[in-house]
Chain A
C-alpha cells in the first residue's frame, strides 16, 4: 500500500496531488510538465514539498504535519533512473553489491544470484558500465535498486532513453519483477503502450493535478487522454485470454468477458493472458448486423451513453454485457443513426487496428 499526498508551489508551477494504491505496479502517467518528476523527487526524498505525506506499507517516510522527513539513504526506496546512473568506476558486480552492502537491515530475501538470474545479467558481471548497451545498463540499474532490498521500487521513465528494440528487451523483465517479487512498483511514464502493458493501477496526471486514479481498465477505458498524450485518444482496455495464438488465416483469437476478438497472430502461447487496448477511433457502429463488410469483429450490444467530444465528435459507450466498449464517431452519425441510451447496435473493430503494440502480457494464472 502506497499513499502519497503532496502540495508544492515553485514559481508558476503548482502541484497538488493525492493518490493511494494497493496495486503491484502503479503508473504515474502524464506528459512532461505534469509534475511526475516532482512527485518522484518527493517520494525519493530529493525535494521537500510544502506539505505532504508519503507512506509505504504503513511506514511514514514524509509527514510535514508530524515533522517527519526521513533522509534519502534511510527511506529504502529503490530508484531506477532514466539514465541508469551506474557508477563508472565499479564493475557491474560492484554496482550490484553497492546497495546490497547498505540494505540497513531490510531484507526481502532478494539475493544476489536470484537477481542476476532474474535479469539475465550473469555474463556482464565483470564488465564496466561504459562497455554495456543501453538496455543492459538499465537491467543492471534495476538489479542494483532491487538488491538494496527496497520497500518500494520507483522507476522514473526507465525506458525513455532507449530505442524501440531496447524497450522491447526490458519490458519482459519489468513484468517479471511485477509478477514475481513482493516489492510494489511506482512506474513513471508518458508512453501509453508501456502503461497499458505494465500497470495494474494508474494515476493520470496533468498540470500538477490528478485527473483520475484507480485500476488501469477502469481509469483508461473511456477516459479522454488528450491532456496527456496530446492528441485525441480514447480507448477501451480489455483483459483477455489467448484462445488460439495463430490459425490458418494468420489470426489469433482472444476471449474477453463478453465475446471474442480476432487480431493479427500473436507470438504467445494458447492460454496466455493479455491486455488489449482498443482505440475508440477504430470502433465503428451499425444498427443492424453488418453482413457484407470486411471488418472481422462484430459485437452486439446496447448504447450506454453518448458524450460529446469537441465540436464534431461524440464518444459512444456500447455495453456488451459487463464490458463497456467505447466508440468514437461523428455527431452527424449520432443524429443519423439516432444513437441514444438503450439503442441496440453492433460494434465493429478492425482486426488490423490491434497490432502487437496494443497488447501487454498480464499476470500469468
Chain B
C-alpha cells in the first residue's frame, strides 16, 4: 500500500500531537489526581466536575470554549500571544492542547484509581523509616501507581489520536498544521474521489490502535511483574 506525502504527513502529525498532548498533560494529571484522591479542600467537587467536563459535553462545545478562552482575543490566549508570541489557533500546538483537554479526564480517572489502590499503610511505614512526605511520594507512592499512570497515558494517547470535534472547532483543518488522521479522513470523505484515501487512512488508524494496544499490554504486564503482583 503506497501512501501519498499528505497522508504520511497526517499520520506523523497525529503521532506528534498525541505524544505532545500525553507527555505535557501527564504531570498535571498526576498532580490533579493526587489532589482529588488525597486532599480535602473547598472546591474539590468543582475541580472534579471541571476535570470531567470533556467527558460529558459534546467535543464541539469544548472546542468552542477553548476558542473563546485560548483564541488570540481570548483572556488567556491573548496574553500568551502578546507575552510569548504563542498562537494556538490553526497550529499544531493548539491541536495538542485540544487533544490534551479531551483526554485529560480519562487520564485522571486511571491515575486516581491507581492512587486509591496504594495502601496508605505502606506510605506510613515509609514515614516511620524516616522518609518525608515528598520522599514517600517519590519512592513509594509513585512507583506503586506506575501501572495506573501507564494505563492513563495509553488511554489518553489513544483518545488524542482519535480526537476530532474539539480539534476542528478550536484549531480548524489546516493541512500540515492541524489536519490529523481523523481530520484527514473526514476531508477525504468530503471530496468526490477521496474514497481510496479514506480507506487507506482508516486502515492505518486501525493498525495504530491495534499496535498500541499490544504494546500497552506488554508494558503493563512487565510493570506488574516488577511490582510483584503477577
Contacts and interface: CB of A to CB of B under 8 A. Distances in A.
Interface of A: 44-46, 71-79, 81, 83, 85, 87-89, 98-99, 102-104, 128-131, 144-145, 148
Interface stretch (B97-105, B123-131, B164-172, B187-195): B123-131
Interface stretch (B5-13, B21-29, B80-88, B221-229): B221-229
B132 A130 contact: no
Contact of A85 (B122, B144, B226, B228): B122
For the residues of B in contact with A, the DSSP-based class is helix
Query: Which of A71, A78, A87 has the most CB atoms of chain B within a 10 A radius of its CB?
Result: A87
A99 B140 CA distance: 13
Contact of B227 (A71, A88, A104, A145): A88
Nearest to B228: A130
A46 B124 contact: yes
A273 B125 CA distance: 36
A79 B126 contact: no
B144 A102 contact: no
A206 B71 CA distance: 68
Contact of A88 (B129, B130, B135, B229): B229
Contacts of A104: 130
A45 B144 CA distance: 24
A73 B124 contact: no
Top 5 nearest A-B pairs by Cβ distance? A102-B130, A99-B129, A130-B228, A85-B125, A72-B127
Contacts of B43: none
A98 B121 contact: no
B226 A148 contact: no
A89 B125 contact: no
A102 B227 CA distance: 22
B143 interface: yes
B140 to A, nearest CB: 6
Contacts of B129: 73, 78, 98-99, 102, 144-145, 148
A122 to B, nearest CB: 21
Contact of B128 (A44, A103, A128, A130): A44
A160 to B, nearest CB: 15
A89 B128 contact: no
A99 B227 CA distance: 20
Given A102-B130, A129-B228, A88 B125 contact: no
A103 B143 CA distance: 22
A88 B144 contact: yes
A149 to B, nearest CB: 9
A179 to B, nearest CB: 24
B130 A89 contact: no
B198 to A, nearest CB: 46
Contacts of A81: 121, 125
A29 to B, nearest CB: 23
Query: Which of B143, B228, B229 has the most CB atoms of chain A within a 10 A radius of its CB?
Result: B228
A78 B128 CA distance: 6
Contacts of B139: 98
A128 to B, nearest CB: 5
Contacts of B229: 88, 130
Interface in B108-148: 119, 121-122, 124-133, 135, 139-140, 143-144
B131 A73 contact: yes
Nearest to B143: A89
Query: Which of B127, B139, B144 has the most CB atoms of chain A within a 10 A radius of its CB?
Result: B127
A46 B130 CA distance: 14
Nearest to A101: B130
Contact of A148 (B119, B122, B130, B143): B130
Given A73-B130, A104-B130, A87 B124 contact: no
B128 A77 contact: yes
Query: Which of A45, A46, A79, A102 has the most CB atoms of chain B within a 10 A radius of its CB?
Result: A102
B132 A73 contact: yes
B135 A79 contact: no
B125 A79 contact: yes
B122 to A, nearest CB: 6
Nearest to A128: B228
Given A88-B144, A128-B228, A99 B130 contact: yes
A39 to B, nearest CB: 15
A145 B130 CA distance: 10
B163 to A, nearest CB: 33
A71 B226 CA distance: 32
Given A102-B135, A128-B228, A130-B228, A87 B128 contact: no
Contact of A79 (B128, B131, B144, B227): B128
Contacts of A131: 228
Interface in B178-230: 226-229
Query: Which of B130, B143, B226, B227 has the most CB atoms of chain A within a 10 A radius of its CB?
Result: B130
Nearest to B136: A73
Nearest to A154: B128
Contacts of A145: 128-129
A73 B127 contact: yes
Contacts of B121: 81, 83, 85
A46 B131 CA distance: 14
16 contacts: A71-B127, A72-B124, A72-B127, A74-B130, A79-B128, A85-B119, A87-B125, A87-B140, A89-B140, A89-B228, A98-B139, A102-B129, A102-B131, A102-B135, A103-B130, A131-B228
